[in-house]
Amino acid sequence: MKNKFIAGNWKMNNTAEDTEALLTALIPLVKDTKNRVAVCVPYTDICLARKLLKGTNIELGAQNVHWADYGAFTGEISAEMLAEKGVKCVIIGHSERRGYFGETNQTVNMRLKAALAKGFTPIVCIGESLEQRQNGETEDFLAQQIKEGFEGLTAEQAVRVVVAYEPIWAIGTGVTATKEQAQETIAFARSKFAEAFGKETAERIYFLYGGSMNEKNAKELLGMPDIDGGLIGGASLVAEKFAKIVEAF
């Protein structure tokens, strides 16, 4: 089994004061872990987080990136701007971006290619709604997100992508997918990558589970063979909880 990758998604939370308190508490708690750790912070916290994380084992991440190098894209941010500030990984296509801000598989694909070109670790989110799960449409929907979202990548590029399976019905709801549901769905997603990029590549790709993962359920989820880590929202805002997830497996 691979070492785990645990990434915090702070979403639109944490002022400078909160960031300082949270990271100051978190750094010593996770310093000895064998696992890879990242925090994906709001843009306004990037400079401060970079300063606080310097010399630590916590990677700095952002929550989106635009496909263009620069230009008239009000409200967006470029890969160059993030790279200049020490960002190493970036979330792309989170369901909140897809649901509230019109993100599509096509824009995900363009953002993904920009992130790869800049050498970031892209954390690309996929996941179905409750209605789709209940209608038995999960696999078809994920297959399409994968086909369109990862279109045009080489196997060398695909291996650098982290895929976060986040069922929309589990995000921020306190309802976690069971470990069997998460395992089965991620194994399906991995099989789609195997079809597209070869089995060996698909085995090496990191697949995270996200959706109400917390310090209590992390161990059993992370113990499943296809779950290589977690993308953590709510529980990443509390240093002790996030650290327990990092150390859970």
Three-state DSSP class for 31?
Answer: coil
Q: Which is nearer to ligand PGA, 9 or 145 (CB)?
A: 9
Out of 61, 149, 229, 234, point to the residue binding ligand PGA (CB under 6 A).
Answer: 234
Q: Is 94 a catalytic residue?
A: yes
CB of 180 to ligand PGA, least distance (A): 19
Based on CB atoms, which residue is closest to ligand PGA, 58 or 235? 235
Residue 28 CB neighbour total at 10 angstroms: 11
Q: Which of 116, 213, 221, 246 is close enough to bind ligand PGA by CB under 6 A?
A: 213
Q: Is residue 38 involved in binding ligand PGA (CB under 6 A)? A: no
Active-site hit among 59, 66, 94, 247: 94
- Least CB distance from residue 218 to ligand PGA, whole Å? 11
186 vs 213, beta carbon nearer ligand PGA:
213
Q: What angle do CA 233, 32, 85 make, to 5 degrees?
A: 55
- What the block records as the tokens of 129 is 């709604």
Query: Residue 173 CB, nearest distance to ligand PGA (Å)?
Result: 7
By beta-carbon proximity to ligand PGA, the closer residue of 6 and 49 is: 6
- DSSP assignment of 140-180 equals HHHHHHHHHHTTT--HHHHTT-EEEE--GGGTTTS-PPPHH
Q: Which of 39, 115, 161, 171 binds ligand PGA (CB under 6 A)?
A: 171
Q: Which residues contact 160 (CB under 8 A, 6 or more apart)?
A: 116, 121, 122
Q: CA 135 to CA 107: how far, in whole Å? A: 26
Active site residue 203: no
- For 138, half-sphere exposure in the C-beta direction (CA atoms, 13 angstrom radius) is 20
CA distance 123 to 159: 12
Please identify every residue annotated as catalytic. 94, 166
| Site residues (vs ligand PGA, CB under 6 A) | 9, 166, 171-172, 210-213, 231-235
